[in-house]
Amino acid sequence: MESFWLCDNCLSAAAYEDYSALSLYYTPDEVEKRLAAIQPGLMHLMPISADFDAEAGWGIKAFSSLPCEGCGSPQSGQRHQFTRL
């Protein structure tokens, strides 16, 4: 099985179909650009399943400088592991 590392924005989108946090960090125009990257990026990876455990601490990189494998964002930050089914 193939694994992917997704940013927090893609995590919310994949797990909860929730894009509301984008408006906290981006302008309306930037939100539209992020949505245009997140939605097709995740659809390309589907079907996926979460492959991390926050309580046990595995499958999470607290900080990564690598781009998100879902939306391609180069912004550094936390990454969560997902696996293609």
pLDDT 10s digits, 38-85: 999 999 999 999 999 999 989 999 999 999 999 999 999 999 999 999
pLDDT 10s digits, 22-41: 999 999 999 999 999 999 99
Q: What is the pTM of this model?
A: 0.89
| Euclidean distance between CA atoms 34 and 30, whole angstroms | 6
User: Which of helix, strand or coil describes residue 3?
Assistant: strand
8 Å CB contact between 79 and 5:
yes
**Distance linking the first and last C-alpha atoms of the chain:** 7
Q: Which residues are within 8 A (CB) of 44 and not within 5 positions of it... i.e. 6 or more apart?
A: none
| Euclidean distance between CA atoms 84 and 77, whole angstroms | 22
Delimit the domains of the chain by residue range: 3-84
Quote the DSSP letter at residue 67.
P
